[in-house]
Amino acid sequence: MTTVDARSKSREEQAVWAALAHVMDPEIPVVSVVDLGIVRGVSINGDDVEVAVSPTYTGCPATQLIEMEILEALQRNGYPKARVKRVLSPAWTTEWISEQGRDKLRAYGIAPPAAVKGRVSALLGEEAEVACPRCGSRNTRKVSEFGSTPCKAHYACANCLEPFDYFKCL
C-alpha cells in the first residue's frame, strides 16, 4: 500500500500519511520513512491507527527509534491510540525507495542504490555501476564495503575526487 493513489485514500488516511512523511530516518535525516518505503500500510478503525513498518534490515540499530518517532508523530497529530506493527515479510528492499527519496539521497551526497541485473546478482556480489552523487560521473571505485552506517559502502570519485557513501542494494 506504500504507493496507493492519494485520491483513493480517505482524508483521515491522507492525514496519517502526511504525518509519517515528516518522520525522518535518524541516520539519513533528509529522507522520511515514507521516502524509504519502509511504511507498508496504514489501517484506521475509528480513532485506532496502526502503521505497518518494515525495518531496512534485520538488526538495524535505528528500527526501535524509528518506530518510537512514528508513534510520537502520530500522537502529536491527534492519534493517541496509534501503534506500530513490525512487518518482516516480505523483507524490505532498496527498490522500495521512492524516486523523491533517491533524489534526496543524491542531493545529500549519498549515491542511491544503483540498478543491478537482479537481486541474485547483488547477493552474489556482482558490483553495480555507482554514479557519484556530486558530479554524476560513473568513474568511481569502492574504497570500503562499510561506510558511515552498515547499510552504506564508502566510494570515491576519480573525476571530482570527492568521497561519498553509497546506499547498498538490499
For position 1, what pLDDT does the model report? 38
Whether 63 shows a pLDDT value over 80: the answer reads: yes
Residue 145: exposure state from Cβ atoms within 10 A (0-12, 13-18, ≥19)? exposed
Question: Does residue 104 lie in a domain region?
Answer: no
| 62 lies in the same domain as 30 | yes
131-163, pLDDT tens digit by residue? 999 999 999 999 999 888 888 999 999 999 999
Question: Does residue 101 lie in a domain region?
Answer: no
Place of cell 534490515: 57
Number of Cβ within 10 Å of residue 85's Cβ equals 12
| 88 lies in the same domain as 124 | no
Whether 121 shows a pLDDT value over 70: the answer reads: no
Distance CA 166, CA 151 (A): 9
Whether 117 shows a pLDDT value over 70: the answer reads: no
Question: Does residue 57 lie in a domain region?
Answer: yes
User: Coil, strand, or helix at residue 130?
Assistant: coil
| 17 lies in the same domain as 73 | yes
Total domains in the chain come to: 2
- For the chain, percent of residues with pLDDT exceeding 90: 72
- Report DSSP state, residue 112: P
For position 151, what pLDDT does the model report? 86
Read off the CATH number of the domain in which 58 is found: 3.30.300.130
Question: Of 66, 94, 122, which closes a domain?
Answer: 94
Question: Does residue 99 lie in a domain region?
Answer: no
Average pLDDT of the residues in 90-111: 95
Question: Does residue 102 lie in a domain region?
Answer: no
| 14 lies in the same domain as 89 | yes
| 82 lies in the same domain as 34 | yes
| 17 lies in the same domain as 86 | yes
Per the structure, the complete domain to which residue 114 belongs is given by 109-167
- For the chain, percent of residues with pLDDT exceeding 70: 88
Whether 6 shows a pLDDT value over 70: the answer reads: no
- Model-level pTM? 0.82
Number of Cβ within 10 Å of residue 18's Cβ equals 13
| 75 lies in the same domain as 119 | no
For position 4, what pLDDT does the model report? 44
